[in-house]
Structure 1
Amino acid sequence: MNFIKKNKSPKFWITSLIITIMAGLLVVHAVKAQDEDPSRAIIHAVNSEKFPQISFFLEAYNENGLALSNLSEADISIIENEQEPISIDLLLRNEPGYQFILAYNLSPALATNITGGGSRYQAITEHIIQWLNSRPANTPDDFSMVTDTGLQQIRDESPREFAQQLMAYQPDLMNSQPNLTSLLQALDLATDPTINPLMKRAILYITTQPTISNVSAFPGFIERAVQQKVPVYVWMVGPASARSSNPSVVEPLIGLAEETGGQFFLFSGQEELPDIEEYFRANRYIYQVTYTSGIRKSGTHRLTAVIQQDNGSISSEMEKVNLTMEAPNPILINPPLLVARDWVVDAKDARIRDLEPDQVDINYLYEFLDGHPRELVSARLYVEGEVAQEITRAPFDTFRLDLTPYEGDQEILFFVEIEDSFGMKARTQPAVIDVTVAPVPLTFWEGLLRLELTPERWIILASVLIAGTVLVTAIFLVGKRQAFWREQAAKRQRKIDPVTQPVKIKQADHRSGNGTSGRSSIGKQVEAMLIPLDERYEPNRKKTVVLDRKEWIIGCDPIQARLVIANAALDDVHARLSRTEQGDYWLRDQNSIAGTWVNFAPITTKGVKLRHGDLIHFAKALYRFEISHPTEDREIQIITYNQNYDS
């Protein structure tokens, strides 16, 4: 006969203590859930890349924990740093998709047949396949399956293919031992990053009643699922009375579902399985909010979304945003450091001249080093510290500096200042334009008057002067030659003109005839000379002609004449002067046109005896006849010409 021992074993007391602690934790969680308001708003993925526009994703749930799916732009406002609310600019509804993880905790209990045929496993699997086939082919969801033996399918993006894999999977239920491996691996898989960081995750955990030894692990699972924000939907397969008959193992599963945001369902084989899509429908969508920020300085800023409802408002938890704000950075592009202004002369009128270029482009660009591009509201060009130009609308890239005031060499100091839509200003580094102006081009006459001709013009002027001199000389020589030939023609004309024919002249008796004079010079050696006289009868003794020959021919022809007189009025052979044996000198005209005159009286070809001091005219050339040792002194006797004298 066996007796039951009244003293309990240590194992029994340890198990009782664990169950008591677990029950206490479940009670505490239930009380906290009652105290907490399930309405909430959650901000995800704040994006400030397009600042001042800030965007983020927003989840909102009402007091029943259901997602708010009919929000409008007017329902949402943003509070920055506890300032006045800011209206949003844009509200979009997105479907990021679900990462659906099916976790089977296999055991022989799933092989139990149900009314209508088939096992519990088959009923559950077919229900899941039916839901999969109802999903659109382009769903953003992906699908994975985990069992006690490990991962069976990972992130299949096609619900149809995943349904086929699930249908083909045939587990050995009768030899399966229930454990927590599938749930653990499902949570591990849920921690892996997804392609879309906003993608939601959910675990459908199908299990039989856990053992007492497995119950102690559930608080850790619950905490991990809550941290990962992964709702766990629990389908427990067991008798319909399991809640009341075995609460110590059922309550941990209920806590796992409710505390993670999922739901608990007990399936004995007779109940209608839940619509899986109902789990996700309300939470499939997330709002994308875009608004224009009023932040204007760097630092960490606080952001809160407020949702207005008929029965009150829902505020999100404060989200911190780090912003770096810097003024835009303007940069000069190849600034014109040297500008040479030159004169452009009008082709028709050299007095019309303009300096060019009359303007120069100053190009610039700007960048936002803080990574927040925004509009500019103005750009200003400063010249010598004063605003020279201002632009208040796009494009902001070029200034045209007027150079017309600068007519002399000068350095121009300038810089560009820009201002953005935040009122932040910045300037370029100062730069200097070295303006050089060419000298004013003068017309030829202006340059000549100022003696400021260019070397080229001096050359031209010299060339013109030389050419002019040559031309004048040529004209003079041609004119002189023409005068010479005209004189020769006149001589020939005088020879044949009766008016200009020679006149027969009768000399006085004492000056003509046999060539003797009152005082004989026979036996005396006489030396004589011709001394040229100027218009005032002054002698030029340097050109004295010594009559050292017996006969002298006077004329202008250097070949025929011995005494050549360069006078156009003389004939080639104008007169002949000879010395007799007695030493007397006789002068005879040679039928010259201009005539030969002694003491202002013309002589003929018969000649006249010369006496000391006689004045002789060969045409207009005047000479005085002198004897070195005259035998007499006398005064010049002028013999007048009798026009009625018969030749």
Structure 2
Amino acid sequence: MKRLLIVLGLAAALLTAVGATHAQTAGEGAVRAAITAVDASRFPEIHVYLTVQDAGGRHIPGLTPAAFSLTENQAPVAAASLLEAEVGVQVVFVLEVNAAFKTRDAAGASRLDYLREALLGYVQEGMKDGDDLTILAPEGELIAHVSAAAPIVDALNRYTTEYAGAADPLALLSAGLNFASDVTPRPGMRRIMVVAANGLAPATDAQALADLVARAQATQVQIHTVFVGPEAGLETVGARNLQALSAPTGGQHTLLQGPAALQPILQSLADQRKQYRLSYRSALNLTGQHRLAVTIQLPDGAASAAPEFTFPLRVEPPIVSLPSLPARIDPATSAGDYPVPVQVTFPDGHPRPLQQAELLVDGQTVDRREAVEVVALTWPLGGYTAGLTRTVQVRLTDELGLSAESKPVEVFVAAPADVLAPTAAQQAERPPEPGLLVAGLVAGLLLAVGLVAAWVWGRPLLAAALSTPRPPRARPAEPVRRPQPPADPARLKDTMPLKLPPAPARRLHLPRVTVPRWKAAARAGRQPAVGRAYLEVVEPGGGGAPEAPLELVGPVLRLGRDPGLAEAVFPDRSVSRLHARIAETRPGVFTIFDEGSTSGTWVNFTQVAVDTGHELASGDLINLGRVQLRFRLRDLPGEARGNGRDPHPLAGA
């Protein structure tokens, strides 16, 4: 009996410990949250996309706005709305196929067959139209950024390999990370990379691995790893190097023991299609990088704080003008109030409501409107007794508290006594007065009666006069027409001259177009100038790149995808429209600056800060998305070389 009581006591203690451990896990690690994207295209309204998952990587549904707490630059903001939507995932599968993939089981299926079967099942059954998928192998791209299942299935079925493996596994992983970091087709899509490999060699540079993890974290890429090999190999250095990619990025690590081994990872992809979209009205009124943080509190008490998310924003005051204000206004023809149309533009591309708009005449407010969107102010003209030139101006404040004033416009306002008498042409266009119409009708009637009476009484006299013959009359001579002398100026002394204010002077400013010197030389057929430095194209990316080295002959060279914004153009989706610029900050010293690009600017696999830039050394490797460049300094005659630093050890120069 005593022994039974001891056993029951131990069991109760064990259950209590297990319950406490479970409660601690639920309260601390059961919820994982991350901000996947911030959409400020409709600023001041901002959309924040978040993924909220449990410890197993499954989406947690049914949360309410009360569960989320937002801070913008550490200032609390209230979420206006919450939407739970399926936005899709952007997935990259990297298959580092080597000899370990050839091993077959008793049924003759190889490990590569396991992977092929698992991927085909995911594409045909688990993939949806909103997903974006890329598959890389040592031989190259099998498929890139495709959302339809048919071409992916065809590429997987046609894939053959020599099982030689990649010459540089880290380069293959870096290429996969570039694809995963590309701009997603829709905001909020989760970026995921799945790596299947027989580990990473023990000689793998630890710093290079750390740089890959840092890039993945900076671009919100989650990495899952699949060890392709025997179970005993999980304890090797190569397997641990592979696992080091998944743990810091929130991914899973598994052993490939059959097609079903990938099911937890593939299920995680499906679960991450659903995201929460929080919308709120921002109060930011400064251009720069801004920080957003979100904390989630579940009904059961579990909580999680999403890592802080940084996003760029351009905010500028509005521009206001008076486009159609005339040079002269006559109060007698304006019914006392004159409408003043106002044109408002937003140079930052974010139209927003106005808090207040004022119309100023000679510095005094004559009309004020609150909370207006389309501005049409009123100028009261009834109080003016003398004709004077008035200065008109508009002042307004937008929703963010940013103010703007229009340029002063001078307008001559005529007093009622100064209004000119109407001309004969204007009088002819006026409708006749009612009294004049009545008088005209009476006069016409009397004239008609007189004509009838004359006809009746005067017919006999007229007949007698016509019957009496008369001698013919001589025809008078034609008068001689002589030219009239010019009008005497003295007779015009009572005529009032028409005086109008002078028309405002207009000046034509033509824009100055600056053509880069190396482009101008190419257009003219001359040999391009040679600069102190140049860029070699190491990896052109998917869209092609300039074949010749890019000479740095001017003070600044801009790099990007848009020919209208950059001189060095790389038509690849991974490159932003204006990605980066290289400036000669001191003679022979060049610094690269990031221009707020999506995938970031990297020098020797280290991300360049937006605000400080990075000073370049000869031989440095520059990554702009999938495009890779090498910076070179050139010894010009009579000049010292750059900053004198040796090339970076990773440059491989």
Q: TM-score, normalised by structure 1?
A: 0.50
1:288 and 2:277 aligned:
yes
1:41-60 matches, cutoff 5 A: 41-60=33-52
Q: Tell me, in whole angstroms, the C-alpha distance in 2 between the residues paired with 1:323 and 1:334.
A: 33
1:428 and 2:406 aligned:
yes
Displacement after TM superposition at 1:72 (Å): 3.1
Q: Tell me, in whole angstroms, the C-alpha distance in 2 between the residues paired with 1:313 and 1:159.
A: 38
Partner of 2:125: 134
Partner of 2:263: 274
Q: Matched residue pairs, number?
A: 386
Asked if the contact 2:79–2:279 (Cα under 8 Å) also holds between the matched residues in 1, the reply is: no
Partner of 1:159: 149
Q: 1:179 to 1:84 in 2, by over 3 A?
A: closer
Higher relative contact order (CA 8 A, sep 6+): 2
1:122 and 2:113 aligned:
yes
Identity of aligned residues (%): 22
Displacement after TM superposition at 1:162 (Å): 1.7
Displacement after TM superposition at 1:255 (Å): 4.0
Q: 1:381 to 1:161 in 2, by over 3 A?
A: closer
Counterpart of 1:191 (choices 178, 188, 191) is 178
Counterpart of 1:216 (choices 203, 220, 239) is 203
1:311 and 2:306 aligned:
no
Cα RMSD for the two superposed structures:
4.1
Counterpart of 1:418 (choices 396, 401, 409) is 396
1:103 and 2:81 aligned:
no
Asked if the contact 1:146–1:153 (Cα under 8 Å) also holds between the matched residues in 2, the reply is: no
Counterpart of 1:360 (choices 325, 338, 341) is 338
Q: Which moved more, 1:63-72 or 1:116-125?
A: 63-72
Q: 1:201 to 1:44 in 2, by over 3 A?
A: closer
Displacement after TM superposition at 1:217 (Å): 1.3
Q: 1:301 to 1:358 in 2, by over 3 A?
A: same
Residue 263 of structure 2 aligns to a residue whose secondary structure is coil
Residue 215 of structure 1 aligns to a residue whose secondary structure is coil
Q: 1:155 to 1:146 in 2, by over 3 A?
A: farther
Q: Tell me, in whole angstroms, the C-alpha distance in 1 between the residues paired with 2:316 and 2:53.
A: 38
Partner of 2:504: none
Q: Tell me, in whole angstroms, the C-alpha distance in 1 between the residues paired with 2:72 and 2:259.
A: 55
Question: What whole-Å deviation, never above 9, does each CA across 1:251-296 have from its counterpart, x for those lacking one?
Answer: 4444444455433333456986635521312323343332112345
Displacement after TM superposition at 1:103 (Å): 0.4
Residue 274 of structure 1 aligns to a residue whose secondary structure is helix
Displacement after TM superposition at 1:300 (Å): 6.2
Q: Tell me, in whole angstroms, the C-alpha distance in 2 between the residues paired with 1:319 and 1:251.
A: 29
1:145 and 2:145 aligned:
no
Q: 1:333 to 1:135 in 2, by over 3 A?
A: same
* Structure with larger Rg: 1
Displacement after TM superposition at 1:435 (Å): 0.8
Q: 1:156 to 1:39 in 2, by over 3 A?
A: same
Q: Tell me, in whole angstroms, the C-alpha distance in 2 between the residues paired with 1:104 and 1:324.
A: 42
Partner of 1:388: 366
Q: TM-score, normalised by structure 2?
A: 0.50
Q: 1:315 to 1:416 in 2, by over 3 A?
A: same
Asked if the contact 2:68–2:296 (Cα under 8 Å) also holds between the matched residues in 1, the reply is: yes
Q: Supply the AA of the counterpart residue of 2:172.
A: Q
1:334 and 2:324 aligned:
yes
Give 5+ residue unaligned stretches, structure 1: 1-35, 343-354, 443-647
Q: 1:325 to 1:437 in 2, by over 3 A?
A: same
Q: Tell me, in whole angstroms, the C-alpha distance in 2 between the residues paired with 1:405 and 1:319.
A: 58
Asked if the contact 2:357–2:372 (Cα under 8 Å) also holds between the matched residues in 1, the reply is: no
Q: 1:383 to 1:180 in 2, by over 3 A?
A: closer
Displacement after TM superposition at 1:390 (Å): 3.5
Q: Tell me, in whole angstroms, the C-alpha distance in 1 between the residues paired with 2:57 and 2:373.
A: 52
Q: Supply the AA of the counterpart residue of 2:301.
A: N
Q: Tell me, in whole angstroms, the C-alpha distance in 2 between the residues paired with 1:269 and 1:367.
A: 61
Q: Supply the AA of the counterpart residue of 2:118.
A: H
Q: Supply the AA of the counterpart residue of 1:401.
A: W
1:83 and 2:70 aligned:
no
Asked if the contact 2:88–2:130 (Cα under 8 Å) also holds between the matched residues in 1, the reply is: no
Give 5+ residue unaligned stretches, structure 2: 1-27, 422-653
Displacement after TM superposition at 1:134 (Å): 1.2
Displacement after TM superposition at 1:196 (Å): 1.3
Residue 75 of structure 2 aligns to a residue whose secondary structure is coil
Partner of 1:262: 251
Q: Tell me, in whole angstroms, the C-alpha distance in 2 between the residues paired with 1:231 and 1:220.
A: 19
